[in-house]
């Protein structure tokens, strides 16, 4: 586990309003279900936690290496900014799109898995009314900046299937906690992304997530500041 993952689990464990689902006594048969990580707010919120710890550099390198025999491929030593390499490519924008799609594929996997786990948890514990929250932690994979993650997640949360149904309809909010790119070089960030279903949630859920954000800041020895805009901060 990463340092952030360990700290966040310790944080959730000390919140009186959070219930660790792993600590609930279940039968062997019930344990076969892939369920979520936590309950919150009297089991009206179901949390599933994911941590980004898969290095994405090989996916970028493989896409760039596919052009290594072309006469426009630049010669260089050591590490270089990807934009400085791609600026010589005649199809740079297409290459960027393919790289973006490859390195964000795991985010779609997280959404799909969390969607199933939240639904499975609600059925196992017979909870008819709830709000699903996916928590994504990142303190290792720098290529997945807060902008990249939040942008891709926001896109995916709006997607519909062939029947016009929201694909990840069990997820009302995604809470991204990132320590790879710091605000003003010092402060970790927390970004909340609303899914279409958030509008159907009780206002108490949004207030509860405010409480989670504030408590997380205190747990780490800091305070919470809300930014009106996050463009170009990292």
Residue 111 predicted with pLDDT over 80: yes
Residue 158 predicted with pLDDT over 90: yes
pLDDT digits (tens, 9 = 90+) for 114-126: 999 999 999 999 9
Sequential DSSP letters for 16-35: TTEEEGGGS---HHHHTS--
Of 43 and 85, the structure prediction assigns the larger pLDDT to 43
Average pLDDT over residues 135-162: 93
What pLDDT score was predicted for residue 80?
A: 63
Sign of the CA dihedral with 80 first, then 233, 106, and 55 last: positive
Q: Which residues lie below 8 Å from residue 28, measured CB to CB, with a gap of 6+?
A: none
Residue listed under structure tokens 């390499």? 85
* Local structure of 215: helix, strand or coil: helix
Share of the chain above pLDDT 90, in %: 62
Mutual angle of helices 146-157 and 92-103, in 10-degree steps: 80
Residue 230 predicted with pLDDT over 60: no
**What is the C-alpha separation between 86 and 82, in angstroms, rounded?**
6
pLDDT band at 234 (very low <50, low <70, confident <90, very high): very low
Q: How many CA atoms lie within 13 A of 25 on its CB side?
A: 0
Which has the closest alpha carbon to 63: 15, 33, 101? 101
Which has the closest alpha carbon to 133: 188, 177, 198? 198
Average pLDDT over residues 148-168: 95
Q: Give the C-alpha distances (Å, rounded to integers) separating 71 from 68, 88, 90, 166.
A: 8, 10, 11, 45
> Strand 173-183 relative to strand 187-194: parallel, antiparallel, unpaired?
antiparallel
Which has the closest alpha carbon to 142: 47, 234, 40? 234
What pLDDT score was predicted for residue 65?
A: 75
What pLDDT score was predicted for residue 159?
A: 96
Average pLDDT over residues 206-229: 88
Torsions phi, psi for 55 (to 5 deg): -60, 130
> Strand 18-20 relative to strand 38-40: parallel, antiparallel, unpaired?
antiparallel
What pLDDT score was predicted for residue 69?
A: 73
pLDDT digits (tens, 9 = 90+) for 10-63: 999 999 999 999 999 999 999 888 999 999 999 999 999 999 998 877 777 777
What pLDDT score was predicted for residue 203?
A: 96
Residue 76 predicted with pLDDT over 70: no
Residue 231 predicted with pLDDT over 60: no
* Local structure of 204: helix, strand or coil: helix
Share of the chain above pLDDT 70, in %: 91
Q: How many CB atoms lie within 10 A of CB 113?
A: 14
93 and 99 Cβ atoms separated by less than 8 Å:
no
Of 133 and 63, the structure prediction assigns the larger pLDDT to 133
């Amino acid at each position: 586990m990463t340092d952030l993952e360990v700290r966040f689990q310790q944080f959730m464990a000390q919140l009186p309003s959070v219930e660790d689902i792993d600590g609930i006594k279940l039968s062997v048969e019930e344990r076969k279900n892939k369920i979520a990580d936590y309950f919150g707010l009297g089991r009206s919120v179901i949390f599933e936690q994911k941590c980004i710890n898969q290095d994405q550099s090989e996916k970028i390198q493989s896409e760039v290496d596919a052009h290594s025999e072309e006469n426009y491929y630049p010669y260089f030593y050591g590490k270089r900014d990807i934009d400085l390499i791609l600026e010589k490519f005649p199809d740079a924008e297409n290459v960027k799109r393919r790289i973006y799609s490859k390195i964000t594929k795991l985010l779609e996997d997280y959404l799909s898995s969390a969607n199933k786990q939240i639904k499975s948890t609600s059925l196992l514990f017979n909870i008819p009314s709830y709000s699903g929250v996916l928590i994504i932690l990142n303190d290792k994979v720098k290529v997945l900046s807060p902008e990249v993650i939040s942008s891709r997640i926001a896109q995916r949360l709006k997607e519909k299937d062939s029947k016009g149904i929201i694909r990840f309809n069990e997820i009302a909010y995604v809470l991204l906690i990132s320590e790879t790119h710091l605000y003003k070089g010092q402060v970790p960030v927390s970004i909340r992304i609303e899914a279409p279903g958030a509008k159907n949630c009780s206002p108490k859920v949004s207030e509860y997530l405010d409480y989670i954000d504030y408590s997380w800041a205190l747990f780490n020895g800091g305070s919470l500041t809300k930014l009106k805009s996050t463009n170009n901060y990292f």
